[in-house]
Amino acid sequence: MSAKLQQISELENILSVKSSTNASILDLFSKFGVGRVLSRHALDKKRGVDMAQLILSLILFRINQKTVGAMYEARFHGLLETGKNCYYRLMNRSEMNWRVVLLSMACRFRSIVRKYKAEESSESQCYIVDDTTVEKTGFHLEGLSRVFDHVCHVCVPGFKLLVLAIFDGRSTYACDLSLHREKGTEGDYGLSRKERKMQFHKDRREGAPGYERHKELDAKKSDTAVEMIARAWKKGIRLPYALMDTWFVTAKMVAQIRKIGKGGIHLVGRMRMGNDKFTVGKRRYNVHQLVSLHEREAMPCRKYKCLYFEQRAMMDDTYVKLIFVKVGRNSTWDVILTTDTHMKFIKAFELYQIRWNIEVMFKECRQYLRLGSYQGTDFDAQIADSTLCMMTHMVLTLAKRFGEYETMGELFREQRESLLALTLWKRILDIIERLLAALSELMAINVHETISMIAAGQTDLEKMIGIAKLLSPDSLESTDLTNLDNMQKSRMCRQF
């Protein structure tokens, strides 16, 4: 069985917009060298459809916001000379090391950026650790539990997705992830006996990648996060800071982070306003006591319109700096903790703000790349689905990094005149719709009917885009349309 590359290349005009380097999504994917990674780690298949081609197809399906089944029902089955089951077999394969693939792609992302000299300043580069709730329906999924959703403040069936992301000064992308469940107060994962019996079960070879990922289900997220950062550091992704929220900033976590790279990473995170003790001088205080002692010493920051004061302390055996911040008219204090005791307030404040990039990434992945929507019962498939979502995000991030257009598919948006960014496909449709709206009065064109013809392939898309470019505002400024005679106008109409 072989891949029909001509069929895939036909999607290129729909799924990608050419950038300044004339690189499409397919070209960018080839730069990551996924096939070489699979071969180097003995993950490729010995026969059948090439695995890198299957991964590429799954990424294209995801950009189209379609499942494998939906793509075949929509007559996309001609994409490969095989059935849809080969995709499901790949996702259910416990011997497939998705962690190696994602981490290798992250390393390759950095290499591509260096090659094209598009690196940013290293001062703001950092790891970002955070988790998000992946809600599921039904109780047949392997390893499912009820998890607490901190947004809705209710327990829902699903997983906690822990992600280690990289911010390189400009782009944010994932390099590692894991799925976790919560045991609950009764140790029954929040499920009844009947619900636990409904779950799918699968035997895995001990030591297989799928076996190790299944063991992570019950591991502590803080321990797994430290392992992720250590793995990225060993792979060559060495960044000076690790950002995290209150759920991860503990004395144990701080000490473990400082051990990585012999103190090469500093932690910056927000502390809980709890009863954790810090040693100042010869006495121990919690954050509430420190606020009572020093809030009168707070200094104003005009740049961010806030009050702050700093306090150096010991958190167990680690030197830390506590930065207390009160923003605007807020009556409560927040605490930023950093192990870099020489860091100034403004830098610490700005660094911590970068942590919100991962929240935006979660939102956009869930909204546009169908993160967590896969309902397969096999836990290996759940890992594969989450990894493929982050791989798609990474490819589109690189497309945006080198692209001239405003957005990069169904993932990223930029604020411009308070409008949501359009997907690549919707961007093309929007251009055509504006074109048809401008010409409809002259030629009595039915806008929606023509768009349907374009989607069905009955109208030449390239010609439509060419006309749209001629009628774009930039083109209109540089060209005096009043000098076009009637013959040129009628010729354009005949081409249309």
Q: Kind and range of the H or E element at 311?
A: strand 306-315
Interval 405-418: pLDDT, tens? 444 443 333 322 32
User: 462, exposed or middle or buried, with CB in 10 Å at 0-12, 13-18, 19+?
Assistant: exposed
Interval 102-130: pLDDT, tens? 999 999 999 998 888 777 766 689 999 99
The pLDDT value recorded for residue 194 is 93
The pLDDT value recorded for residue 46 is 67
The pLDDT value recorded for residue 174 is 96
Q: How confident is the model at residue 308 (pLDDT cuts 50, 70, 90)?
A: very high
Query: Do 232 and 103 touch, CB atoms closer than 8 A?
Result: yes
Query: Do 147 and 155 touch, CB atoms closer than 8 A?
Result: yes
d(CA 325, CA 306): 7
The larger pLDDT score, comparing residue 483 to residue 356, is at 356
Query: Do 146 and 190 touch, CB atoms closer than 8 A?
Result: yes
Taken in order 431, 437, 442, 447, the sign of the CA dihedral is: positive
d(CA 269, CA 344): 14
Interval 431-450: pLDDT, tens? 656 666 665 555 555 555 65
The pLDDT value recorded for residue 463 is 62
Q: How confident is the model at residue 66 (pLDDT cuts 50, 70, 90)?
A: confident
The pLDDT value recorded for residue 468 is 55
Q: How confident is the model at residue 397 (pLDDT cuts 50, 70, 90)?
A: confident
3-state class of 316 per DSSP?
coil
Q: Is the pTM of this model over 0.85?
A: no
Interval 124-160: pLDDT, tens? 899 999 999 999 998 999 999 999 998 888 999 999 9
